[in-house]
Amino acid sequence: MEENHSQEFLIHKQIILSDAMNVWLLVLLFFFLYFWVRLVLNEAIFIPLPISTIRKMLKLAKVNKKDLLYDLGAGDGRVVIIAAKEFGCKAVGIERSALLAAICRFRIRRAGLQDKIKIIEKNYFDVNLSRATVITTYLSKRQNEKLAPKLKKELRKGTRIVSASHVFPGLKLIKKIKTGHFYTYLYKI
């Protein structure tokens, strides 16, 4: 009798574990399909930049306490947090994903930087960028191509643009540096 209960318990446990694995596989499949669709559409997907790359980007742009930095596609907020905390500037993160915007706000509160950083939950194409003195991006090649005319039109003379991994066609390239496994590009309007 005791052995029967042990076998039933083991079978029940295996069923539960099997169901849990199926749920995890469905979740992984969903994320794989989501990222695959975004890649096929040539949209930027959230891939966090290494902290060392962010610091190199901000140093390249010579970010300082007088700057107002806009991070287009702010992700989890790491660029705006490092810019405000280590370089002393005010920063605006623009993120269209409600989940990522919430993560940004949480991390900003946890860092005590609410007075220096603002998160706008919108598509950056729908936000006026004219107040920025520095723009940071880590977008797809196609997104940079679509964004270049907006930057030329809205940004003031002297605004610096730092792009990780992809070029901005038609903008004046100032400098290109190796940051990790790709290049980072500095432009000036």
pLDDT digits (tens, 9 = 90+) for 54-99: 999 999 999 999 999 999 999 999 999 999 999 999 999 999 999 9
Q: Which CATH class name applies to 51-188?
A: alpha beta
pLDDT bucket at 103, cuts 50 / 70 / 90: very high
The percent of residues above 90 in pLDDT, for the chain, comes to: 69
More confident residue, 43 or 141: 141
More confident residue, 178 or 19: 178
Residues with Cβ within 8 Å of residue 28, at least 6 apart in sequence: none
pLDDT above 50 (res 110): yes
pLDDT tens digit string along 125-159?
A: 999 999 999 999 999 999 999 999 999 999 999 99
What value, to the nearest 5°, has the Cα angle with vertex 74 and ends 68 and 77? Answer: 85
Query: Distance between CA 58 and CA 45 in Å, rounded?
Result: 21
pLDDT bucket at 121, cuts 50 / 70 / 90: very high
pTM score, two decimals?
A: 0.78
Tell me, what's the pLDDT at 6? 60
Rounded to a whole number, what is the largest CA-CA distance in the chain? Answer: 84
Tell me, what's the pLDDT at 89? 98
